[in-house]
Amino acid sequence: MSTNQEKKATGEQKKVGIYICHCGGNISDHVDVEKLAENVKDLDGVAVVHTNTFMCSDPGQELIQNDIRDGKVNRVVVASCAPSLHELTFRGAIKRAGMNPYLYEHANIREQVSWVHHGDQATEKATGLVAGAVAKALRLQPLEPIRVEARRHATVIGAGVAGLRAACDLACRGLEVALIEKSPFIGGRTASLGRLVPTGEQAEEVITQIAAKAMANDKVTIYSCTEVVGFEGFVGNFRLTLKRKPPEEPYSAAEPQKIRMDHLEKGEFLPAAGIFPGDVPDKEQEIFLETGAIVMATGFRSYVPGEGEYGYLHSDKVITLAELVELIARYPDRRGRFLQVKGKPVRRMAFIHCVGSRQIPGIHEPDQDGRLNEYCSRTCCAATLQAAVQIRSSFPETQIFDFYRDIRTYGRGQEEVYREASRQRVTFFRFEPEDPPRVQKSSGGKFPLLVSVKDTLTFGEQIDVPVDLVVLATGMEPTPIKELVEMMKLPVGADGFLQEVHPKLRPVEVANTGILLAGTCQAPMDVGEACNAAQAAAAKTTAMLARGYVELDPFVARVDPERCKGTGLCREACPIEGAIELKERQVDGKTVVQAQITPALCTGCGICVAVCPSRALDINGWTLEQYEAMVDAIVAA
């Protein structure tokens, strides 16, 4: 190592500094921090012990840096919250002080102690964990990050608003971009929307501008009618196999609008088509693509109500909000006394919120996979109210009734849409989730449907509202990408959306290094939020690839060639294809077969260590010797 501190660290004199965090009371309310410091100050190898209200703060980090610069310590143990929150923070502080950042160990005394134990028990357990961390720190060796050459090329999967935004930003930062879209159109579902909340912009104009910018940029190559069918490699050096095939029916640049209008005139609804880039294959093609990073922008689909849910499919007078917005968007300039749907005037209409969102076990029916959408789709309330305001403004004699569980107009300017709906005399009824509105055919009178509800705004009064049309505000669901998830080993949350590493610290990254998230593949978002997430993913990708190489943590498997017998058990057990290979090498003039690690693919899971009969494998930074020392120290504490 190049620094004096690192040279000392590899010698016999090992000096551990322990830095204990109060975490603003999160830890110190249950762990006696001063007693903990007293308990560990005389452990073998401990040179200094400090406590601080917030170790992650600048003053807390300066404590560590000053001790390193003064030569007091050459190993660091931080006892604080989960390492997933601030491990990178402390490594960075140590590196800035001139010490190898991997001569550091973390003891989690918040989630593993203060949040689950109290009193003397909490302090005793914290003492054991810190003692174990010290024992490991004394056995740490300086490590260097793994450097991997990286292509200055990114691939964006999905050409909706988030994918287009990410592609434009990546290209503007100098990267070559492949934009992959499985349909003949780009623009995604945003292309079918009307006015956006709260800006009032026309969605079609917004998406057209972004799409035009992407299509005009020489660094962006758009592959429409294309799917990813093969995936291998690692960050900086991914290899994708793409399959392009002709669409099921021929298209031209003018046809999406015409197709949409034809269907609407017939009283039918069609999902968003978007903008036609004009490049459609006339035969099936296979394309091999080498890329440095991948941005997932696969978007969402609208929840489809089950047959009979609020009368859906049982009556053609029950439609979804997506279908209504589609209709309004295609007739933006029509005005009159009443809204016209399928050629008939709508004198009274009802909106019902939370259809396919905030579902409750035991009340709602799960889908065919046994899953319920227990999350809030976030955008539905504002979109519903915007539609209501637009209808009341254009068709003042169409009465609107809004049936809701809760109004969640959370974004800046969205609450004004709710107030405008009230000023436009939209009538609101609030229902409990266990007693939702009932939609049934009217037994008589001039309205075909009857919506009944117990209105909690009037203390449970039974309300019957005859209407011409019922509109269901359906929630968002992730686009089904099972093949991509399995192929790329992508993490998926309980809600079915792709799962980020951490919502605050790494909000657009997944655990698979080099793969990032943009937009509604990650969670329900409005157009502005989706674009923000896409720009964050683009910025992170650019920072990763701009230097032409990436640096990865060195916590990967290593092989001891003197012990390896080439059994191949490690390769069979490894969950990552290509991370371990069997290679021939010469030993004492003989050809032997031994395991070889590809560091950029290895995740450091340790499965290979467990199955190796000759103990020829270990994990950098988490060796068996270090584990044994930690266990012994915890038992003795």
Indicate whether 343 and 410 sit together in one domain.
yes
Domain assignment of residue 627, yes or no: no
- Kindly indicate the confidence band of residue 1, based on its pLDDT and cuts at 50, 70 and 90: very low
Residue 214 has pLDDT above 90, yes or no: yes
User: 200-209, 459-468, 545-554, 621-630: which has the minimum mean pLDDT?
Assistant: 200-209
* CA–CA gap between residue 162 and residue 521 (Å, rounded): 10
Q: Are strands 75-80 and 46-52 parallel, antiparallel or unpaired?
A: unpaired
Indicate whether 344 and 438 sit together in one domain.
yes
Model confidence pLDDT, tens digit, residues 363-396: 898 888 888 999 999 999 999 999 999 999 999 9
- Return the pLDDT at 337: 87
User: 14-23, 183-192, 220-229, 293-302: which has the minimum mean pLDDT?
Assistant: 183-192
Indicate whether 188 and 292 sit together in one domain.
yes
- Return the pLDDT at 204: 84
Instruction: Please say which residue of 106, 127, 144 terminates a domain.
Output: 144
298 phi and psi angles, rounded to 5 deg: -80, -5
Residue 269 has pLDDT above 50, yes or no: no
Indicate whether 496 and 468 sit together in one domain.
no
Domain assignment of residue 205, yes or no: yes
Closest CA to 74 of 11, 165, 132, 123: 11
Indicate whether 496 and 569 sit together in one domain.
no
Give the mean pLDDT of 134-150. Answer: 96
Instruction: Please say which residue of 474, 504, 539 terminates a domain.
Output: 474
Model confidence pLDDT, tens digit, residues 270-316: 444 577 777 788 899 999 999 999 999 999 999 999 999 999 999 99
Q: Which residues of 543-564 are buried (b: 16+ CB within 10 A; e: fewer)?
A: ebbeeeebebbbbbbebeeeeb
Indicate whether 464 and 488 sit together in one domain.
no
Model confidence pLDDT, tens digit, residues 338-359: 988 877 899 999 999 999 999 9
- Return the pLDDT at 140: 96
Structure tokens at 610: 């467990």
Indicate whether 314 and 371 sit together in one domain.
yes
Domain assignment of residue 634, yes or no: no
Indicate whether 461 and 607 sit together in one domain.
no
Residue 106 has pLDDT above 90, yes or no: yes
- Return the pLDDT at 260: 44
What does the chain come to in residues?
Answer: 637
CB 625 within 8 A of CB 606: no
Indicate whether 342 and 422 sit together in one domain.
yes
Domain assignment of residue 276, yes or no: yes
Average pLDDT, the chain: 91
Domain assignment of residue 304, yes or no: no
Instruction: Give the domain range for residue 603.
Output: 557-619
**DSSP-based three-state secondary structure for 108:** strand
Indicate whether 386 and 535 sit together in one domain.
no
Residue 572 has pLDDT above 80, yes or no: yes
- Kindly indicate the confidence band of residue 249, based on its pLDDT and cuts at 50, 70 and 90: low
Q: What is the pTM of this model?
A: 0.87
CB 341 within 8 A of CB 470: no
- Kindly indicate the confidence band of residue 265, based on its pLDDT and cuts at 50, 70 and 90: very low
- Return the pLDDT at 268: 44
- Return the pLDDT at 261: 42
Give the mean pLDDT of 482-503. Answer: 95
Give the mean pLDDT of 122-133. Answer: 97
Give the mean pLDDT of 474-481. Answer: 96
Of residues 162 and 336, which shows the higher confidence score? 162
Give the mean pLDDT of 454-464. Answer: 95
CB-based contacts of 458: which residues, under 8 Å, 6+ apart?
A: none
Of residues 1 and 285, which shows the higher confidence score? 285
Count of domains in the chain? 4
616 φ/ψ sector (left φ>0, alpha ψ -120 to 50, else beta): alpha
Closest CA to 138 of 80, 78, 75: 75
Domain assignment of residue 599, yes or no: yes
